[in-house]
């Protein structure tokens, strides 16, 4: 078995069976690796940019946010497994369930700019409103200030999923 550079010290979910990592989506928060496993689901590892991770209080707030929502389950939200310091490079990261699909931010960033039909916008608002209300009911002090189009994924099955909500 190949040694997993992102486990086992960090006890990443599925790390014992991880066989390869491929680059994923990158944005203002950091870059992602998709962890593919022989068994079990693929995972996303969001490695925060060093400047963001070094901001005083960021890691503490991130860990507190994770603690607030670690047991929250809702069909619209991807499961976040934890906050880690990666063994290989010491970077701060969150590991979550991999959600296949297209991020709304990628769709809106296309050139030429393509607008969304009003019916789709109404559906998005309805789905997001219900999901965010459920999150706020679960953790009363929770807010969604970093929810951007890059955190909203449309799956191939036509479902809306929110990722990295910690």
Residues 102-145 have pLDDT tens digits of 988 887 776 666 677 888 889 989 999 999 889 888 877 766 66
Return the SS3 of 12.
coil
Q: What is the pLDDT of residue 154?
A: 92
Q: Which residues does the chain have with pLDDT short of 70?
A: 1-19, 110-114, 142-146
> How much of the chain is helix, strand and coil, in % rounded to 5?
30, 25, 45
pLDDT at 136: 86
Q: Residue 108: which H helix or E strand, with range?
A: helix 104-108
Helix ranges (H only) for 33-103 are 50-53, 58-69
CA distances from 6 to 10, 17, 46, 120 (A): 7, 12, 12, 39
**pLDDT for residue 65:** 86
Residue 121, both tokens? 């916008």
């Amino acid at each position: 078995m190949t040694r997993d550079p992102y486990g086992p010290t960090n006890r990443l979910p599925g790390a014992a069976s991880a066989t390869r990592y491929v680059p994923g989506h990158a944005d203002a928060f950091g870059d992602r690796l998709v962890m593919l496993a022989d068994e079990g689901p693929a995972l996303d590892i969001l490695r925060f940019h060093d400047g963001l991770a070094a901001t005083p209080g960021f890691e503490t707030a991130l860990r507190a946010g994770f603690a607030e929502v670690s047991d929250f389950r809702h069909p619209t939200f991807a499961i976040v497994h934890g906050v880690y310091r990666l063994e290989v490079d010491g970077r701060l990261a969150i590991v979550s369930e991999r959600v296949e699909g297209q991020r709304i931010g990628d769709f809106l960033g296309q050139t030429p700019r393509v607008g969304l039909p009003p019916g789709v916008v109404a559906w998005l608002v309805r789905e997001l409103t219900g999901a965010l209300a459920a999150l706020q009911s679960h953790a009363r002090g929770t807010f969604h200030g970093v929810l951007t189009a890059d955190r909203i994924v449309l799956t191939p099955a036509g479902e809306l999923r929110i990722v990295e909500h910690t």
